[in-house]
Chain A
């Protein structure tokens, strides 16, 4: 009995939460372009991607976010060689994670996206080998496919010059609807997510410009939540 009562008192005394944010950021539209893919292409010619990004800030914490792009990727090995081309659209939201003392356009955020990728794959050569009979069989086919995925991300956006931003995000992609096509072929490249792996990690690096709709306002006094 004694111990139970003691625990209850402890929690009630700790439950005081202060919200020290005293400003309200204006709504703002930010438009940008990814510059990581051109840099990556210099090191790895397998993947060519062009991506533009945009987000809209509703308030201090919530952003609607969109990325759109076009990808062209190829891979070759002894058994299968293919090229995949296609566009993608990512729609979702970002939630700001950090409360700054003063009004700031910088943000550290977590986000989620629904991703649609529309792709055309050309398996321009596959070869099936056998060991106890002479001869191998080669073939080719083309396929169209639509893949629906979920993407989770963490990102950071920093205002370098007034209204000019640079941003990083790291992303994990999870294909939800990714149907096998010709003879059970599974899409080996998904535009927007990358080459198929157990865990589809991706990132981007953007330069962007913000169009604010007004100025940061201060709230009337500090808001305190006491429970």
Chain B
């Protein structure tokens, strides 16, 4: 009987605690971004083979979406990976990469621009009671201009988790 009373009170206490757990959403914008990594593909002069490696861009990079004032990547040097959220209002969006390179001979900062376009299908997906729904982006395709960019390699067509790199940009 004593054991039973203890059990009843323990269960009641656990229950009351579990009742008062009004959680708050920790990520109010849960839709995944496209994780973009910078790479370089050169031909090794000694061996004559391709040499692919992660490329840390030494120049100052700014990334901004076309049609928004918000700057996604603020001017920064030595970037190797950036996260670019697709626009959830439309089925495509374009980012402008503005790169300032210091010319060591003349001492002048030279600017180049490249555009990267995402085209995708939006699929709403339940996250939790606290955060509601997010969008996943399916069948994503990437197009880009080739000023500083050399080429693109798509690793993920379905963007559901920004922890996984979706796109490699090879730099010239």
- Which of A126, A170, A184, A186 interacts with B11 by CB under 8 Å? A170
A137 touches B89 (CB 8 A): yes
Provide the bound-state CA to CA distance between A202 and B4, in Å: 18
B19–A137 contact, CB under 8 A? no
Q: Looking at the complex, which one of A78, A133, A170 makes contact with B88 (CB distance below 8 Å)?
A: A133
Contacts of B65 in A (CB 8 A): 132-133
How many residues in B have their beta carbons less than 8 Å from beta carbons of A? 37
Closest to B135 in A: A128
Are the CB atoms of B29 and A129 closer together than 8 Å? yes
Min C-beta distance of B1 to chain A, whole Å: 7
The answer to whether A133 and B14 touch (CB under 8 A), given A75-B129, A80-B133, A126-B132, is no
**Stretch in A19-27, A48-56, A193-201, A214-222 with 4+ CB within 8 Å of B:** A193-201
Query: Of B28, B85, B135, which contacts A132 at CB under 8 A?
Result: B85
In chain B between 27 and 80, which residues have their CB closer than 8 angstroms to a CB of chain A?
Answer: 28-29, 31, 65, 67-68, 70, 72
Quick check: is A203 within 8 A (CB to CB) of the other chain?
yes
Determine the chain A residues whose CB is within 8 A of the CB of B132 once the complex forms.
Answer: 77-80, 126-128
> In the complex, what's the smallest C-beta–C-beta distance from A75 to chain B, in angstroms?
7
A154 contacts B70, C-beta separation under 8 Å: no
A131 and B70 form a contact (CB under 8 A): yes
Q: Are A126 and B89 touching (Cβ within 8 A)?
A: no
Contact B68 A79 (CB under 8 A): no
Which A residues between 47 and 91 are near B, CB-CB below 8 angstroms?
A: 75, 77-80
| A137 and B135 contacting across the interface, CB-CB below 8 Å | yes
- Of B101-109, B120-128, B139-147, B162-170, the one touching chain A: B120-128
Flag if B126 contacts A183 (CB, 8 Å).
yes
- CB <8 Å contact, B129 and A196: yes
Q: Identify which of residues 168-227 in chain A touch chain B, using a CB-to-CB cut-off of 8 Å.
A: 170, 172, 180, 183-186, 188, 196-203
Q: In this assembly, does A139 line the interface, its C-beta being within 8 Å of a C-beta of chain B?
A: yes
- Residues of A near any B CB (own CB < 8 A): 75, 77-80, 97-98, 108, 126-137, 139, 154, 170, 172, 180, 183-186, 188, 196-203
Q: Hey, which bits of chain B sit against chain A, CB under 8 A?
A: 1, 4, 7-8, 11-12, 14-16, 18-19, 21, 25, 28-29, 31, 65, 67-68, 70, 72, 85, 87-89, 93, 123-126, 129-135
Which 3 A-B pairs give the minimum distances between C-beta atoms? A79-B132, A201-B15, A80-B132
A132-B85, A188-B129 known; 8 new pairs, CB 8 Å cut-off, are A77-B25, A130-B89, A133-B87, A137-B88, A170-B8, A172-B11, A199-B14, A202-B15
